[in-house]
Amino acid sequence: MDRVFTFLTRTQGKRRPKLVDLLTYAYLLLGTVIMFGPVLWLVLSSFKTSAQLTEFPPRFLPYRQETAVVTGYPQPLPLFNVVMNHGSVRKITTSRDCRASIFGLTCGTAWS
């Protein structure tokens, strides 16, 4: 086991690592981040809500979802920040409950 450790930690410099050694370690670290970055992103995304997954720009870590209580629904609905055509930002919540009414099809959307 001692021979394996010696082989893995050898450097070109006898006492101190040379520039080539440092560049090699930086290159290997970059490769590790590139290879395992997507795996880390998938693991952290599994803790996010569906609203956080579709958010742009995406966040690396999940945060608490802001919700709103809407009459007729047993649980609070998630709020989304939507940028309107004229540039203002409005908070909305949507539901999958679509009902036909006299004025056409309405899907439960609450604006704040």
The first and second tokens of residue 91, run together, are: 């908070």
Same domain, yes or no: 41 and 70:
no
- Please tell me the predicted confidence (pLDDT) of residue 56: 79
71/102 same-domain check:
yes
Q: Do both 60 and 29 map to the same domain?
A: no
The pLDDT assigned to 103 comes to: 45
Burial label, 73 (beta-carbon count in 10 A; 0-12, 13-18, 19+): middle
Query: If pLDDT is split at 50, 70 and 90, which confidence band does 1 have?
Result: confident
Tell me, rounded to whole angstroms, the distance of Cα 104 from its chain centroid. Answer: 37
Global pTM?
0.41
- Parallel, antiparallel, or unpaired for β 77-78 and 80-83? unpaired
Same structural domain, 63 and 86:
yes
- Does residue 65 share a domain with residue 25? no
104 pLDDT more than 70: no
Assign 49 to helix, strand or coil: coil
Query: In total, how many domains does the chain have?
Result: 2
- Nearest Cα to 43, choosing from 24, 60, 63? 60
Per-residue model confidence as pLDDT tens digits over 29-80? 999 999 998 998 899 888 887 777 887 787 777 677 778 887 877 888 878 7
Domain that holds residue 28: 2-45
The pLDDT of residue 105 is 43
